[in-house]
Chains A and B, each alone.
Chain A
Amino acid sequence: MSPVRALVAVTLVSAALQLAAQSGLTVPKAIEAGSAFSVQSSGSGQGTVYIVGPEQVLKRDVQLGSTINFEAGSLYNAGHYLVFLSGSADTATLDVLPAGKIADVSFLARPSRLPVGLREGITGAVYVFDSYENLVTKPETVAFELSTPGGAAQNRNITTRDGAAWIAMDSSPKEGAAQFVARVGGISTTRIIGQVPGDPCGIQMTAKPSGPKVALETAPVRDCSGNAVPDGTVITFTENYNGAQTTVDVPLKRGVAKVEMPAVPGATITVASGVVLGNQIRWGR
Chain B
Amino acid sequence: MGGRFLALLLFAATIVLIAIGTIWPLPEATVYAGSGGLSSNSSTPQAALRSFGEALHSQAWGKAYFSLANRAQFTLPQFMADMMGYYPNLRTYSGLDTLEMLPVHATDTDAEYQVKMHWATVVGDAVETRDVHVVKNDGRWEVNWPFTKEQVVPPQVIPVNYLRWDVIYRGAGDDWGAADVESPHVKIIDMHPVQRAEGTFIMGELLNEDVEPAYVSVSATLLNKSQQPIATEGSFDKISHLLLPKQVTPFFIKFADVNLSQVGGVRMTPFSTLIPASADPVIEIQDEKLDTSAATSSLSGQLVNQSGQIANVAHVLGTFYDQNGNLVWVADQYVDHALLPQTPVAFNMHIPEDLAHKIASQRTVISTYIMGGTA
A41–B94 alpha-carbon span in the complex (Å): 89
In the complex, what distance in Å separates the CA atom of A283 from the CA atom of B173? 57
- The reply on A111 being an interface residue by CB < 8 A is yes
Q: Is the interface of A mostly helix, strand, loop or mixed?
A: strand
Indicate if the CB atoms of A244 and B287 lie closer than 8 Å. yes
| Least distance between A108 CB and chain B CB atoms (Å) | 5
Add 18 more A-B contacts to A109-B177, A251-B279, A275-B207 (CB < 8 A): A106-B176, A106-B177, A107-B177, A113-B211, A196-B211, A229-B211, A230-B245, A231-B279, A232-B244, A232-B279, A233-B211, A234-B246, A246-B286, A246-B288, A247-B363, A249-B282, A259-B282, A275-B248
Mark B residues whose CB is within 8 Å of A. 161, 163, 165, 175-182, 189, 207-213, 244-248, 279, 282-290, 301, 306, 362-366
The answer for the CA separation of A230 and B181 in the assembled complex, in Å, is 18
1/0 per residue, CB under 8 A from B, across A83-115: the answer is: 000000000000000000000001111111110
Question: In the assembled complex, how far is the CB of residue A96 from the closest CB belonging to chain B, in whole angstroms?
Answer: 24
B175 contacts A106, C-beta separation under 8 Å:
yes
A107 to B177 CA separation, bound complex (whole angstroms): 6
User: Using a CB-CB cutoff of 8 Å, which residues 95-153 of chain A contact chain B?
Assistant: 106-114
Bound form: Cα–Cα A249–B290 in Å = 19
Let me know if A246 and B189 touch, CB within 8 A. no
Interface bits A222-251 vs B (CB < 8 Å: 1, else 0): 000000011111110000000111111111
Q: Which residue in A109, A229, A245, A274 is a CB contact (below 8 Å) of B179?
A: A109
Interface size on A, residues (CB 8 A): 40
**A200 beta carbon closer than 8 Å to chain B:** yes
For B165, B176, B212, B282, the residue with the greatest tally of chain A CB atoms inside 10 Å of its CB is: B282
Query: Across the interface, do B284 and A259 meet the contact criterion of CB distance under 8 Å?
Result: yes
Closest to A257 in B: B282
Q: Is the CB of B182 within 8 A of A234?
A: no
* B-side contacts of A200, CB under 8 Å: 246
In the assembled complex, how far is the CB of residue A183 from the closest CB belonging to chain B, in whole angstroms? 15
Identify 6 residue pairs between A and B in the complex whose beta-carbon atoms are under 8 Å apart, listed by A's number: A107-B177, A191-B177, A191-B179, A234-B247, A246-B287, A253-B163
From A197, A234, A243, name the one whose CB has the most chain B CB atoms within 10 angstroms.
Answer: A234
- Contact pick for A233, options B176, B244, B286, B363, CB 8 Å: B244
Residues of chain B with a CB closer than 8 A to A113's CB: 181-182, 210-212
The answer to whether B182 and A251 have CB atoms under 8 Å apart is no
A157 contacts across to B, CB distance below 8 A: none
Chain A, 251-282, CB within 8 A of any chain B CB = 251, 253, 259, 261-262, 273-276
Q: How far is the CB of A278 from chain B (nearest CB, A)?
A: 12
CB pair B179–A247 under 8 Å, yes or no, is: no
Which residues 25-45 in A have Cβ within 8 Å of B in the complex?
none
